[in-house]
Amino acid sequence: MNKPKLSKHFEDRLPSVIRSAQILFSNRKDKKDLKVVNLSIGNISLPMFPAMKKKLAQLGQDIFHDGVVKYTPTAGSKIARESFINILQASGIDTSGLFVNITDGGSSSMELMMLGTSGPSSLKPIMLLDPAYTNYIEFAKRLSISVITSSREIKDDGSFKTINLEDIKKNIQHNSPSALIVIPYDNPTGQFLSQEILVQIAEICVENNIWMVSDEAYRPLCFLENQEESSIWKITDNDVPGILGSRISIESASKVWNACGLRIGGIITDNERFHKKAISEYTANLCANTIGQEIFGALANVSHQKIIDWYSTQISYYKRILRNLKENLLKELPGLIVTDPESSIYCIIDFKNICDKNFDAEDFVKYSAGQGKVLLNNELYTVLLAPMSGFYTIPGYGKTQLRIAIVESEDLIMKTPKILAGLYQDYINSRR
């Protein structure tokens, strides 16, 4: 008997590269016998900010004591919006003239931004720096919006080539995108974009009358010494005449605040009309997670000093782990290229100097998730990682590269180099 057909979009849809390894591992028959180190997705395993933890513990006796959980306004609860404002103010940012819309995670903000700047099936592309966070690429596909990119390369020493501003200019002039999206504390590369670079990019956006969009989910996780915190919201009209009313930032409770499962994000703009229309569009979603908003709302009244102290603790933690991880990866896999992240919670490894020409990082990920295992201290392990091919818009790029997310416990992360080396050797042997 015939059945209704799926849409072509659904038929062609494959899992995101940041989830594909996890899905494959979940289907293993022997998964109960293994310890899995899941470094494929930015699902942080650290406790939330103390005020948020306290709020979580009080929810049943507090606002939801009667068991009633209602919708919030579409723009979000007052306390959740004030939390994002307070966070910005703690960084010395003038928040007057900024408008906040709370969304279900930063991902919903990304999609909302694309709808507002380009629109579905638009002739106006969006512009990314390649490699780029895969969800921007995936949402563009969902909305039938084309993507143009300016490429970045990883050097053999693990550093990044400077962003080519002239290439960005030429690309914009040739393709007329609706928006240029930057991630100053970059996912997936860990590259840091200084305030000086953001100002230069802003000048290009104003010159070409396009939106400047900044994904600031990882602000202010920068590991460079004596480096000023950068933000789209630190650019003034004196810095770049005409920038006011042209900016959008993507915000999140997931990363710096260690609250991925709350699914709370924010889209902030200095353009009131964009904000009002974003709310109109988001009424179809009704509102973001009410309980998540209440927990995140605990940040609304936290002192700026406590926020700054929290940042310092987070920065020290990730900086130490990334340094030790790189050292041990190079020890276990000599010749491996390991990036030296300047920011965020990711590093990239590249096998190109130690693998044969047929090596495919995506296939290696599938092997590790679907059948690979390594005996370490009398226990079996495997590691889940994300192939970098899903972060590039150009087919064939990133074929030998993987992204590592610093999200598991420190103990598990430090076991990763030995596990990864064992998996790689077993994978190579299996292909002979």
The pLDDT tens digits for 206-248 are 999 999 999 999 999 999 999 999 999 999 999 999 999 999 9
- Rounded Cα distance between 53 and 397, Å, is 41
In the chain, count H helices and then E strands: 13, 14
Beta strands in 98-162 (DSSP E): 99-104, 126-130, 147-151
Residue 61 is predicted with a pLDDT of: 83
Q: How confident is the model at residue 162 (pLDDT cuts 50, 70, 90)?
A: confident
| DSSP E strand stretches across 91-236 | 99-104, 126-130, 147-151, 179-182, 211-215
Least confidently predicted of 4-8, 278-282, 305-309: 4-8
pLDDT of residue 276: 97
The dihedral built from the CA positions of residue 180, 183, 188 and 190, taken in this order, carries a sign that is positive
The arithmetic mean of pLDDT across residues 343-350, rounded, is 95
Q: Is the pLDDT of residue 391 over 90?
A: yes
Residues 51-85 have pLDDT tens digits of 999 999 998 787 888 888 999 999 999 999 999 99
50-305 belongs to which CATH class?
alpha beta
Model-level pTM? 0.94
Q: What are phi and psi of 132, to 5 degrees?
A: -130, 160
Dihedral in degrees, nearest 10, Cα atoms 81, 83, 86, 88: -80
Q: Which of 117, 345, 97, 93 has the alpha carbon at shortest distance from 217?
A: 345
Residue 198 burial by CB count (10 A; 0-12/13-18/19+): exposed, middle or buried? buried
Which range has the worst mean pLDDT, 4-8, 247-251, 323-327?
4-8
Q: Using 50, 70 and 90 to split pLDDT, how confident is the model at 114?
A: very high
Average pLDDT in the 145-173 region?
87
Q: Which pLDDT score, from 0 to 100, does residue 170 have?
A: 94
pLDDT at 188 over 80: yes
Question: pLDDT at residue 432 above 80?
Answer: no
The answer, yes or no, to whether residue 332 has pLDDT greater than 90, is yes
Structure confidence at residue 408 (pLDDT):
96
pLDDT score, position 367? 96
For range 132-137, the mean pLDDT:
94
pLDDT score, position 423: 97
Burial of 202 (0-12, 13-18, 19+ CB in 10 A): buried
The residue among 172, 162, 160 whose CA lies nearest residue 203 is 172
How far is 206 from 140, CA to CA, in rounded Å? 23
> What token pair was written down for 181?
């999206």
Q: Which SS3 state, helix, strand or coil, does residue 414 take? A: helix
- Give domain limits for the chain: 8-47+307-430, 50-305
Q: Identify the pLDDT of residue 156.
A: 78
Is the pLDDT assigned to residue 161 strictly greater than 80?
Answer: no
For residue 96, the Cα-to-chain-centroid distance in whole angstroms is 27
3-state helix, strand, coil in the chain (%, to 5): 40, 15, 40
pLDDT in the model for residue 65: 85
pLDDT at 110: 97
What mean pLDDT value characterizes the chain?
94
Domain 8-47+307-430: give its CATH code.
3.90.1150.10
